[in-house]
Amino acid sequence: MAGSLNKVLLIGRLGADPEIKQMVNGKSVARLSLATSQSWKDKNTGEKKEKTEWHRIVVFNEGLVNVVQQYLKKGAQIYVEGQLTTRKWKDEQSGQDKYSTEIIIQGYNSSLTMLGGGNSSGGIQQDNSQSLGNAPDETSQAPNDMDDEIPF
């Protein structure tokens, strides 16, 4: 049995168009804002309630960044598999340390599937295990290579 597991599975809709940035090393990174919602009926009032959670998704795979850039728009429904990571950064105005928790799409156990809702064209899937080749050593350095300090 494995000692630990860091795996996140989400289905949701994009709250904004993807943001594509260049990292210090020259590679592209895509940032997505993903909403997941749950709804229920209040037992006391019968009123329909809904709660939305927002997730920060960061895609480091070059091929998948290109797919994101070409096909994903605000409202698109996607399925993602990735890993949770928390990174520390310094707020330029206050000088205080800040923390961001993100779902990273990178490496052999990550994928992104377009499900066809909203503005997406649907049905396109790319699993990073097919396109990363011999680059597993990039996983530990990539999140710190971003050129800006504020995550979104």
**Which string of DSSP letters, residue by residue, matches the chain?**
--S----EEEEEEESS--EEEEBTTS-EEEEEEEEEEEEEE-TTT--EEEEEEEEEEEE--HHHHHHHHHH--TT-EEEEEEEEEEEEEE-TTT--EEEEEEEEE-STT-EEEE---TT-----EEEHHHH-TT-GGGGGTGGGGBS-SS--
Q: Give the pTM.
A: 0.70
Per-residue pLDDT tens for 5-27? 999 999 999 999 999 999 999 99
CATH fold for the domain made of 8-145: OB fold (Dihydrolipoamide Acetyltransferase, E2P) (2.40.50)
Q: Tokens representing 38?
A: 């749950």
According to DSSP, residue 146 is labeled B
Per-residue pLDDT tens for 25-64? 999 999 999 999 999 999 999 999 999 999 999 999 888 9
Predicted local distance difference test score (pLDDT) of residue 1? 62
In whole angstroms, how large is the CA radius of gyration of the chain? 17
Backbone angles phi, psi at 100, to 5 degrees: -130, 130
Percent of the chain predicted with pLDDT > 70: 76
